[in-house]
Amino acid sequence: MGENNSTNTLKKPMIFLSRRREEDPIAKMLLMALPRDWSVWIDELELGLGKLNKEKIIAGVSESTHMIVVWSEDASANAWVNQEVGAALQKGIPVLPIIQRGSCLKGMLEGIEGVYYDPKLPYPGVKEFVEKLEDQLKKDGYKSFDMAKVEKRLKELWEAFEQWQK
């Protein structure tokens, strides 16, 4: 899974974040939790809101070191999500799923370990996912990130989410 050599400890991973628009709240929570100096490819940031460019999406997948996929029953039926996942797996890019509770991994993702989250209470699942992501990146030889900072950002996001829910 991923390159494993000592030169990676000097590099930062390039994360491709795959999701359906309906999963934007969880995707944005993940995006905000990740270290700010990482490269994260997400379509609306790379392409612009509502734009589609197949070549740029393929390049984004090809240049990534890891893929995060926000998985739900709807995502499993989404052609783009499935194509992005398939392209990553074909290139040997580790795919790390965060799975909406009540959904199950299908197709090429069956058997891959993921983390479940509850869309009504996402904080615990996102926190667990980020911890597993860090473990995976360390295994792949990438420099560890400051979990204390990540936990602080997640806590702030969670508090804002709770306020918004009221």
What is the tens place of the pLDDT at every residue in 30-88?
888 888 778 888 866 555 555 567 788 888 899 999 999 999 999 999 998 999 999 99
The CATH architecture annotation of domain 6-165 reads 3-Layer(aba) Sandwich (3.40)
Task: Phi first, then psi: give them for residue 84, nearest 5 degrees.
Answer: -65, -45
Cα distances (Å, whole numbers) of residue 165 to 121, 157, 158, 160, 161 = 10, 12, 10, 9, 6
CA distance 133 to 85: 17
**Which pTM was predicted?**
0.83
CA distance 119 to 109: 21
Domain residue limits, the chain: 6-165
Weakest mean pLDDT among 47-61, 91-105, 135-149: 47-61
CA dihedral 52→84→87→35, nearest 10 degrees, is: 100
